[in-house]
Amino acid sequence: MARINFAGIIEEHEIKKYQSNDLKCEKIKISNDKENIQVKAIPIAILLVAMCNIILFVKIFKFSLIINPIFILIGVLIGGLLLFIHELLHAIVYPKKAIVTIGFVKPISFVALGPYPMSKIRFIIMCLLPLILGIIPLVLFVLFNDSILCNIMFGMMCIGIISPYPDIYNVLKVINVPMGKKVLFDADNLVYIND
């Protein structure tokens, strides 16, 4: 696991500082979507929202689940609190030599910043591991029929499955990187090392 640096509040302009490195090698830009990734990844978010709603409607009609917005809101709040854990899950995939800075960027975003090269597979795992925070509530939502538990799990599932949409976008960008290449964030760019 990487060494983790908790930075507290990180200003938007400081992100480049935490994601810059001094590697002396040729870096091939995969994407420079860092500033507007939230917008470019919206189609992924829409698909994830639709998937969560389909799962909910199947549960309502097949098992007569009673919707209680208060318990869904409680689940959403719990899911929101777990966003810090989401960033820790990114960090634990980085190699031991890496330093990953975790902080809060206004208005409502936690970040894990680590400009360390990883294999393509490791990078994909790093991006997708936080989905577990949505998959576990999804499994509980499907397996149990208790109305209160299902409502809470649905709220947690939505946050856990939808919040990684920019990470899924990064995975889609990295899929075409040649095998054997190292992938990393470099300032505002997603790059791979051409060695």
Q: Within a domain: residue 177? A: yes
Residue pair 104/170 in contact (Cβ under 8 Å)? The answer is: no
pLDDT at 64: 87
To the nearest whole number, what is the mean pLDDT of the chain? 92
Q: Within a domain: residue 39? A: yes
Which residues constitute the domain of residue 79? 3-7+26-193
Handedness of CA 10, 16, 17, 19 (dihedral sign): positive
| The pLDDT of residue 195 is above 80 | no
Q: Within a domain: residue 50? A: yes
Neighbouring residues of 13: CB distance < 8 A, sequence distance ≥ 6: none
pLDDT at 92: 95
Q: Within a domain: residue 93? A: yes
Residues 13 and 106: their CA atoms lie apart, in Å, by: 11
Render 41-104 in DSSP notation, one character per residue.
THHHHHHHHHHHHHHHHHHHHHH-PPP-HHHHHHHHHHHHHTHHHHHHHHHTTS-TT-EEEEEE
106-131 pLDDT tens trace = 877 889 999 999 999 999 999 999 99
| The pLDDT of residue 35 is above 70 | no
| The pLDDT of residue 32 is above 80 | no
pLDDT at 11: 87
Residues 46 and 42: their CA atoms lie apart, in Å, by: 6
Q: Within a domain: residue 15? A: no
Q: Assign 34 a pLDDT band (cuts: 50, 70, 90).
A: low
Q: Within a domain: residue 188? A: yes
* Structural domains in the chain (count): 1
142-188 pLDDT tens trace = 999 999 999 999 999 999 999 999 999 999 999 999 999 999 999 88
**Nearest C-alpha neighbor of 137 from the set 162, 156, 116:** 156
Q: Within a domain: residue 186? A: yes
pTM confidence score:
0.91
| The pLDDT of residue 105 is above 90 | no
Q: Within a domain: residue 20? A: no
